[in-house]
Amino acid sequence: MANRRTPRRNAYVRSVGRFLPERRMTNREFEDMVDTTDEWIVTRTGIRERRILEPGLGSSYMAVRAARECLERAGASPEEVDVIIVGTVTPDMLFPATACLVQKEIGASRAWGFDLSAGCSAFVFALTTGAQMIEAGRYDKVLVIGSDVMSTIIDYEDRNTCVLFGDAAGAALLEPCPEEGYGVLDFVQYVDGAGGDFLHMKAGGSKRPASCETVKNKEHFVYQEGRQVFRHAVIEMANVSAEILERNRLTGDDVALFIPHQANLRIIEASANRMKIDRSKVIVNIDRYANTTAGTIPLCLYQAVVEENRVRKGDYLVMSAFGAGFTWGSALLRWWE
């Protein structure tokens, strides 16, 4: 119960936005690039296609577009935004933060902000961080964004990783909830640095700066021991999803929607089974977008709220993620609108 607290004023998700690159890359295209098949990819991961951003644009390009849609949907102007938090492992550059680039581009003249690095858990971590800023009473509009251009850090000659990822961004605007008992109610989050060995980028940071050698060795790409990551993800994402329910005395039947990180359909199904939640309540779009890292959860939220219009006032939503670090966590929301 380490994270348990009594919120003074909850944050709620006022609106959402997203950006999807136009270019669709199907599994079939990989068959000409590496030793793989559409059938292997679909059965082992659930992925059928992913979106790929045009080279040279960067995470801020997508984040800005997701943010603009989010603000438009809320009828809010950029000048009203207090804080911008961008979850990403593919910032435009190491510094300045992508949040600063977004701030300038959307014209959020009063906002401050920062990037949050938590791999695939970045959006959940950013959302709960922003929610706490609102709970503390200091800010009224926190823009939370997840944006990753995974295609820029993937080795398209490595069949173990290249088929798994895609590019996208999503955004949510957090505001103080007008009514008690709604909004972001609770969260549980963890890191285990021992997991870093299994999923990381070997070079490009201060310990091993970019050099001809690091480029030649392909050390600027995602390094992943897929089986190890899978083993941990399938256990921890299921555990944390069950934990958030138990500590709030809820069951899978009470939950209207489960919004899981989209890394592998088998991990999603294991978490849903552990929560004893009906498959019809689980948002899945991994088939269309693959693993977009910080983008998966806001893309799912957008699908539920905007595309499918299936979220109602009072609905319980659980978001769960697992990613590099290792990082993992769940957030419990009760929808208000």
Q: Could you give the residue numbers annotated as active site?
A: 120, 261, 291
User: Residues binding ligand COA: what is the number (CB under 6 A)?
Assistant: 21
Rg, Å, the chain Cα set: 19
Contact flag: residue 238 with ligand COA (CB under 6 A): no
Angle (nearest 5°) at CA 320 between 224 and 275: 115
- Identity (one letter) of the amino acid at 211? S
Confirm or reject binding of residue 150 to ligand COA (CB under 6 A): no
202 counts as binding ligand COA under rule CB under 6 A: no
Residue 68 per-residue DSSP state: H
Q: From the CB of 271, what's the least distance to ligand COA, in Å?
A: 12
> Could you tell me which stretch among 63-71, 156-164, 173-181, 245-253 binds ligand COA (CB under 6 A)?
156-164
Q: Which two tokens stand for residue 220?
A: 């600027």
Shorter beta-carbon distance to ligand COA: residue 40 or 316: 40
Residue 163 binds to ligand COA (criterion: CB under 6 A): yes
Using the rule CB under 6 A, give the single segment among 34-42, 55-63, 182-190, 210-218 that binds ligand COA. 34-42
Using CB under 6 A as the binding rule, whether residue 160 contacts ligand COA is answered as yes
- Name 125's Cβ contacts closer than 8 Å, sequence gap at least 6: 87, 116, 118, 189, 327, 329
329 contacts ligand COA (rule: CB under 6 A): no
Cβ contact 204:214 at 8 Å: yes
Given the complex with ligand COA, which of 7 and 329 has the nearer CB atom?
A: 329
Q: Does 40 bind ligand COA (CB under 6 A)?
A: yes
User: Considering the rule CB under 6 A, would residue 263 count as an interface residue with ligand COA?
Assistant: yes
- Residue by residue, DSSP assigns 106-165 as HT-TT-EEEEE--GGGHHHHHHHHHHHHHHTTS-S-EEEEEEEEGGGS--TT-HHHHTTB
What is the C-alpha to C-alpha distance for residues 24 and 3, in angstroms, rounded to an integer? 41
Exactly one of 9, 24, 73, 159 binds ligand COA (CB under 6 A); which one? 159
Question: What 3-state DSSP class applies to 188?
Answer: strand
Q: Tell me which amino acid residue 194 is.
A: A
Between strands 112-116 and 11-19, the pairing is: unpaired
- 292 is a site residue for ligand COA (CB under 6 A): no
Contact residues for ligand COA (CB under 6 A)? 36, 40-41, 44-45, 120, 159-160, 163, 199, 224, 226-227, 229-230, 233, 263-264, 291, 322-323
